[in-house]
Structure 1
C-alpha cells in the first residue's frame, strides 16, 4: 500500500471525482496539490493507512512550521476531507472531530469615493473597464472576467452573473457610464471571434454537459467572453484549443501599479472595488437588503460587515458628538 506508484493512481481517482462533482479547474489543482503534500509529508504512505493523527500532524505542521494563515490551513483540511469522504469513501467518526482553524474576523479595506475615482482614472485599456464593472456593479474579479456576451442586457441595464460564489446566479446593475465602452469592447471581441472562426477555432468553454447537448454553442457569439484572453490556449482537461477569458493576474497587477502610482497607503486590490461598491451604496442611504441581493450574499449578516466600516451601525446611527 505504501509503494510510490500508489500516489499517481490515487491522484487520478481524486481528479476523476472532482470532475464528477463539477468542481472548477482551480479547485482541482489546489486539492491535488494539498493531497500530494500530505502524502509526501508522511513518507509516501497511502492515506488508507493513515487517519486523524496524521491529518492533525500535517495541519499542525502547516500552522507551526510553515506559518500559513487559518484560511490556507482550512483549505488543506477541506482537500483531505474530500479525499477520505469522496474518493476513499471512508465515513470515519474522527472526520468531524478535526479542529477547524479559526480565521480572524477582519474589516474589509474600503476606498473613499475620491480614492476610488483616482484609482480608476489611473487604469487604462481593458483593465480600466473591468475595474469600473467591479466598482459599478459589485462584481467579483472572476465574475467580471467570466462574463459572457449573452449575460449583458443593455435594454434592461442589467448584468446576469452566472454561477457566482456558491454556484448561484444573480442579477446586478449595469452602470450607464460603462455602456458605450462595453459596446466598443464587444465590437473588438466580435472581430477577434470572426478571425478565430476563420482560422478554425472560435470555441469557448461551456459549463457541464452543454457542449454535448449543444455541440455548436461554443462557437456562437452569445457564449463568447466579454474579456477574452489575448491568445489561444489548450484546455488542460479536454485538450481542445480555445480562447479562454483574460487572466485575473493582469488585473491584479494593473490595480497594484495604479495604487502605487497614486501613493495610497491602503492595501487595495481588485476586490477592494467590490467592498467600496457596497460601502458607498450604504453611505448613500441604500437599503441593506438591496445591497445584499446585488452582492449575492446568502445571509444579510455578511453584508452587515460594511455597516461596521461605516462606523454608523446597522441603522445609520450617528454619534451624539457629531449631532
Structure 2
C-alpha cells in the first residue's frame, strides 16, 4: 500500500494532491496536479478534517466534504471548449452552481493551473483571457469580496485548466497588502478584466492565514525584472506585510507550509538555498511553474498558522 492509499483510507481525508500527476486513482478526493515537483521524492499534500468525509462527482466536478469543509475541483481540456476564456467561464460557472447550493458556500481559497499562461501579446495573452472568463463564470457570486487565489502556468502537453478550491460553512476575513494595489483595482494595462482575488484570507475556524500567490510586485508594478535574488527578497517583504495586515506575528515556522513556484527549473537549487537560509525549518515545496507575468521568476503561496 502506498502513502496515497493509506491517506485515502483514513476517514478524515478531504483531499490528496500529487504534484507530478502520478497518483491516478478512482477517488474524487485525489487530484493529480499538472505542476512538476522540483523536489525528490515528490511529497503528497493531504487535507484532513476531524470528521467523516463524503465525496462524489457532479457533472465535470469532483468534490468531498466533512466537518463544515468542502473541496471541489474541475479539470477541462481547452480544446473541447474553445480556448482559455471559454474554458475558464465554464469551469467557474460549474463551481459557482455547485458551491452555491452547499452549506459550505464560503469559498476561502482557489488554485488555478493552466497551460502556456504567458503566451500571446496584449489583451490576447492567455492569462488575461483567463481573467475575462473567470469573471464571467463567477458572475456576482463573490460580490461581497474575492477569495485568496493562485494562478500558475503548467508545462503539460495537454492544454488543461485545473481549478480547485477550499470552502467552508463559515466565512473568512479578507486581507490586503498595503504595499500593493488590490488586484481587482489594477489599471487597464493588465487587461480589460483585472485579476479577481484577495491577497490572503484569514480562516478564523482554523486560526490560520491562507496566502495567495505572492511575488515581487510593489504597487501594481513588477519589481526587479529578471533578478531572481532581488525578487525573492521583495517577495519575503510582501509576505511579512501580509502577516502584519492580518495582525499576526512576523515570520514563518515549521508549521507554516509554503509552495515556491519557479519559472526556470535551473533556478531551483538557488531558490531552495535562499529560502533555507531566510526561512530555516519552514517546509517549502518547489514546483516548476510559470508566473502570470513573464518578467517574474518566482512566486510563493501557502499557509501560516497562529
Normalising by the residue count of structure 2, what TM-score does the alignment of the two structures yield? 0.24
Please identify which structure carries the higher strand content.
Answer: 2
Please identify which structure carries the higher helix content.
Answer: 1
Instruction: Say which one has the larger Rg.
Output: 1
